Amino acid sequence: MSCYQIIFKVIIMDTIISKYRLYILLSGLCLLFIFIGGCEDKNAEADSASQSSFNSMSDKPLEEFQIRLLDTAFETATRIPIYPHIKDRSRSQEAVVETCLKLDQPKRALRYIEKIDNWRKHLCYANLACYCARHGHSDLANKYLDKAGQFPVVKQEWRLNRIKTKIIETRSLLGQKSMAENLKTELVNSETDEQAKAKVMAMQQTDSFEKRVESLDALIATDNFEMVKHALKEYVKLYDRFFDDEERRSQVEEIIMTSWDVTPIPIRIELLMELAGSAIAHSNPGKALEYLDEADILLEMIGLFPENYIEKKAKLAVLRFQAGDTEKAREKVNEALTFFNEQRRMIIDVYRAEALCPVAEAYHLMDDAEVALSVYKRAIDEGTKNPNSRPRAEDLSSTCCSMALHAAKPDDELWARIQQINEGLGDPW
């Protein structure tokens, strides 16, 4: 065979091999495109299903003024400059999101969440996921858990703990026990409030009464303040769950009353308020008033800051009103307002609106809209006393949230004042 023939055959073979390689390459590309297309179809289907589920979860109808108050509250919070006040800005934005969820406004809450710039965005996603889980939207709960789980880089580990604790609570609600347990091991510092709460949240909610008591008693036996606090709070839930079972209810009540020696009085008052609320919900006002009488005694025993004392007194008055002791309830809320007037100068200006809002809420819930509105006007006015815009924005946003939550409608005068304050925010912050 001549060298020319050999070269010709090599060229022919190389061409055949190249075509074969090209065929394989094209076939592979076709398969790849088919695979990508399938993935895109699946993603599109998943997105479509998620969007369909989101559309099925609607915001509860609200009065127009409530929506306006929520928008004003978030707008005011967002006017706070990111630098150097991102912590205050995001905390106020988060408070508006929480108000939205209390008012069954998940879609509005989501729109607000997407405008938050720091780690609280992820905490809000976790809260939204928890809301979805409690309202039967497990697919959306998982979607927002994924967003919440995209942790930002933060220096303070307690911030991550707060996000993770809410995720643990939500995964427990969804029945994802192993995932909740695994995440619990990632929490830092076992002495923290978040770790204690996570231990309680990760418990199996379907456990029998006896098993649950055994688990909670084990936490109380640690003598760790945070563990005991959250175990007692969980016992209050157990009290409510078994309220109609007198024997078990009495057992839980005895455990609570004999296990809170290491618990500070303010927390005891909170527990008594929760027990009273449970008794009211189960149509047992007599039992509720027993708890409230004890809480009133404890409140007068301790030396709280004036603003904290006023808040507790107003909230106790509301529960007393709901328990049917309307005359004494009005007397108590009047005392709270009088105490504010007497102690006003002793209250730092940035806390005055915070002290007045619970009083306004109490009057509103007692069907005294006129007095409630006058107290809200005072809260709005007190919120302007600080020369810096940041605390003024925080107070205005918080008061608007309070009015929206309790459906307290501002009159034209108050609307004008709210707008004036909002538009006047500026340097110095």
Q: What is the pTM of this model?
A: 0.83
Q: Which two tokens stand for residue 148?
A: 């919440």
Examine residue 29 and state whether it is found in any structural domain, yes or no: yes
Examine residue 189 and state whether it is found in any structural domain, yes or no: no
Q: Please give the torsion angle defined by the CA atoms of residues 127, 130, 131 and 136, in that order, rounded to the nearest 10 degrees.
A: 160
Examine residue 315 and state whether it is found in any structural domain, yes or no: no
Nearest 5°: phi and psi at 15?
Answer: -65, -45
In total, how many domains does the chain have? 1
Between 51-60, 227-236, 248-257, 374-383, the lowest mean confidence (pLDDT) is in 51-60
* pLDDT grade for 207, boundaries at 50, 70 and 90: low
Between 80-84, 212-216, 288-292, 390-394, the lowest mean confidence (pLDDT) is in 212-216
pLDDT one-digit tens code per residue, 119-135: 999 999 999 999 999 99
Give the pLDDT mean for 199-219: 73
Q: Which two tokens stand for residue 189?
A: 């510092």
pLDDT one-digit tens code per residue, 286-301: 999 999 999 999 999 9
pLDDT at 9: 45
pLDDT one-digit tens code per residue, 401-422: 999 999 999 999 999 999 999 9
pLDDT at 14: 46
Examine residue 45 and state whether it is found in any structural domain, yes or no: yes
Q: At what angle do helices 306-322 and 285-301 cross, to 10 degrees?
A: 170
Examine residue 294 and state whether it is found in any structural domain, yes or no: no
Examine residue 230 and state whether it is found in any structural domain, yes or no: no
Average pLDDT, the chain: 86
Examine residue 349 and state whether it is found in any structural domain, yes or no: no
Nearest 5°: phi and psi at 204?
Answer: -75, 115
Structural domain containing residue 41: 1-56
